Amino acid sequence: MWKGRFKTDTAQLLKEFSESISFDWRLYRHDIAGSIAHATALQAAGLITAAELEAIKNGLLEIRDEIDRGEFQWKTELEDVHMNIEAELTRRIGDAGAKLHTARSRNDQVALDTRLYLRDEADEIIRLLRELQKSLVELGERYPDVVIPGYTHLQRAQPVLFAHHLLAYVEMFGRDAERVADARKRINVMPLGSGAIAGSTINLDRALIARLLDFPAISQNSMDAVSDRDFAVELLSALALLGVHLSRLSEDLILWASAEFKFITISDAYTTGSSLMPQKKNPDVAELTRGKSGRLVGNLVSLLTVMKGLPMTYNRDMQEDKEPVFDSVDTAKAVLQIVAAMMKEVTVNPTACAEAVSDWALLATDVADYLVLRGVPFRKAHEIVGKAVALCIERGVGLAELSLDDYKALSPVIEQDVYDILSVRRSIDARTNVGAPASENVRAQLARWRKLLD
């Protein structure tokens, strides 16, 4: 493609070193769609005839169908997806194929292909996120009354409904979907027509191309258009944070499924055994998900590192954007799909949950609130209840087993009704503020998310 300037062939070692067809072939459908739109603009500008446009379209669609069937022969010596398709098109239809690259560069071509690809993948990731949210809501709906200890510092803190805990992740994944959708807005800008750096003296109708490819916006600076990968960085950033959220959910599942917790059972279909220990049932899906979050974070760092030192405009370093982008998209989609499927087959052990939530210390904060409502400053109330807890530990009893005299010795405002608050169910249902885990609130949130997701 540059034989006019060079006197000798490119070294075979360089061909092998610089090729990208081994991974960017997956852009073929987007490359072909972009080429058809570009050819339509060439014909509208009078640069090719209607017959040539028809030949280009038909030739490209034939190539697309061959690739779909796995029959197309990719050639490493042609470097990338763009040249493989263009060269084959020219071989098939002659000069009309050689006219296709008029007024465009691989620089704006690859920017277009990548944006088209990521636009589609963003839509699919949002769909998969919604499926994961649905699976969490459905699990919460199956166990609306199960209570578990909520934890801070991995120490039992206060009782919460199991469904409330799941809804925390539904909220997280909702924000992830919003971030992907927001990144999609900046992905959805049409760069074709920017050329290699400064557009072209052959001015095509960029608005026509944008309409054909369903872009609502057109890039406004040719240098920025070919050198910009912010849109890819932004999506990878959203996927990295998604990976963190998936990893946190996985960690909870791993703990809950352990013999020490026994809160849940993950079905045999989504666990594995041990090659040595016959009794083992390992939460491999959750563990792999937790591990794959590192890839999502690493791919973001990789792309940021590629871009950080580049001068304007296109530099070959930017070829290194593809593999981290493809890997993050593939990883996110795979993980979302399998975690959603796994969650549909999780069962809860209400007996183990009830045993864990019978821990009397979970209600210590309720006693402090009781004192505050009787005029005791919170810091003083905190101290009083701390002494009550210490007394319980010393005697080996719970808060409900302290006598009224014991309580009176700690604070004269405590009355017989203190025992009324020492109930897990009362503790939960007293928390009625917006966002709190009262049963009525949780039912309303499950219904709200069910409606949104349906």
Residue range 378-413, pLDDT digits in tens: 999 999 999 999 999 999 999 999 999 999 999 999
Q: Where in the chain is the domain with CATH 1.10.40.30?
A: 359-453
Contacts of 42 (CB under 8 A, 6+ apart): 48, 53, 99, 100, 102, 103, 204
In this prediction, residue 18 carries a pLDDT of 86
User: What's the mean per-residue pLDDT of the chain?
Assistant: 96
Is the pLDDT assigned to residue 6 strictly greater than 80? no
Q: Where in the chain is the domain with CATH 1.20.200.10?
A: 107-195+220-355
CA distance 196 to 216: 23
Overall average pLDDT of the 234-250 stretch: 98
CA angle 153–254–242, rounded 5-degree value: 80
The one-letter amino acid code at 288 reads L
Contacts of 429 (CB under 8 A, 6+ apart): 438, 439, 440
CA angle 34–35–39, rounded 5-degree value: 120
The one-letter amino acid code at 122 reads A
What tokens were used for 380? 């003083």
Is the pLDDT assigned to residue 167 strictly greater than 60? yes
CA distance 110 to 106: 6
> Do the Cβ atoms of 125 and 217 come closer than 8 Å?
no
Q: Which pLDDT band holds residue 7 (cuts at 50, 70, 90)? A: confident
Name the β-bridge partners of 58. Answer: none
CA distance 22 to 378: 65
Q: Which pLDDT band holds residue 2 (cuts at 50, 70, 90)? A: low
Is the pLDDT assigned to residue 232 strictly greater than 90? yes
Q: Where in the chain is the domain with CATH 1.10.275.10?
A: 12-102
Please give the positions annotated as active site. 153, 274
Is the pLDDT assigned to residue 115 strictly greater than 90? yes
Would you call 430 helix, strand, or coil by DSSP?
A: coil
Contacts of 66 (CB under 8 A, 6+ apart): 72
In this prediction, residue 52 carries a pLDDT of 98
Is the pLDDT assigned to residue 4 strictly greater than 90? no
Is the pLDDT assigned to residue 128 strictly greater than 70? yes
In this prediction, residue 15 carries a pLDDT of 84
Is the pLDDT assigned to residue 448 strictly greater than 90? yes
CATH of 12-102, one of 1.10.275.10, 3.40.50.300, 3.30.70.270, 3.30.450.20: 1.10.275.10
- Classify domain 107-195+220-355 at the CATH topology level: Fumarase C; Chain A, domain 2 (1.20.200)
Overall average pLDDT of the 124-131 stretch: 98
What tokens were used for 221? 């600076």
Q: What percent of the chain has pLDDT over 90?
A: 96
pLDDT digits (tens, 9 = 90+) for 322-376: 999 999 999 999 999 999 999 999 999 999 999 999 999 999 999 999 999 999 9
CA-based nearest residue to 361, from 387, 406, 399, 401: 399
What pTM was computed for the model? 0.95
CATH of domain 359-453: 1.10.40.30
In this prediction, residue 16 carries a pLDDT of 82
Would you call 414 helix, strand, or coil by DSSP?
A: coil
In this prediction, residue 1 carries a pLDDT of 59
CA distance 121 to 27: 12
